Amino acid sequence: MLIIGDIIVSDVLLEKKFICNLTACKGACCVEGDDGAPIKPSEEEAIQRNLISILPYLSDEGKGIIREEGVVHKSKKGLRTQLMKSGDCIFVVKDQNGVVGCGIEKAWQEGKSDIRKPLSCHLYPARETALENATALNYEEWDICHAACTLGEELGVPVYRFLKDALIRAYGEDFYRALEGYAKSIPDD
């Protein structure tokens, strides 16, 4: 375990190898599960502010749910993105090969939105847990990511390096430099 400021980082993020392999999993993390992606109130506000730009990327079902129920629901675990009847996130978009992407991110990539996607999605497979005076950052093990772990092993990329952009977005460049410095100081087995 490593502590940087008020962030407690699991050693697994430094040791485990991981690179999303969308060809293999087709974006299963956006369609599996039972409660939607964790979302912060500020992200809900940003999505609402950019909704006109995001809607053209979404399915008719996703648009209908947003119209009827909004973009998030409150669960026992906090705010979550709404789900379609299939269990897919309402922001899911599929390409011609059946690979899932995010309508929020597509709008951002095309310069039509100022929100990239929910931070919990960007940080995946890392998950934040709010503690009393800190935030714990842990690796979430899920069998749908087996191909990502295999690819990460083949290419020798640890989770924290795969998540560089997301970690900088979440905690800043100084945090990432400290994390990287610590990781480089760990002797290879």
Residue 79: the pLDDT is 94
Cα 42 to Cα 27: distance, rounded to the nearest angstrom: 25
Residue at a domain's end among 115, 146, 174:
115
Residue 138: count of CB within 10 angstroms of its CB: 16
Same-domain pairing of 11 and 33: no
Please report the pLDDT score of residue 23 as a whole number: 86
Expressed as residue numbers, the domain containing 53 is 27-115
pLDDT score for 26: 85
68 shares its domain with 132: no
Q: Residue with structure tokens 């087995």?
A: 189
- Residue 120 counted as domain residue: no
Instruction: Give the integer Cα–Cα distance in Å for 76 and 116.
Output: 26
The total number of structural domains in the chain stands at 2
Angstrom distance (rounded) from CA 34 to CA 32: 7
Report d(CA 142, CA 86) in Å as an integer. 20
Extract the residue ranges of the chain whose pLDDT is less than 50: none
Query: Domain check: are 56 and 107 in the same one?
Result: yes
In terms of domains, do 95 and 130 share one? no
Q: pLDDT at position 11, please?
A: 93
Domain co-membership, 89 together with 157 = no
Q: What is the model's pLDDT at position 41?
A: 94
Same domain, yes or no: 37 and 92: yes
Cβ(73)–Cβ(90) under 8 Å?
Answer: no
* Final residue belonging to a domain, choices 115, 133, 160: 115
pLDDT of residue 189: 56
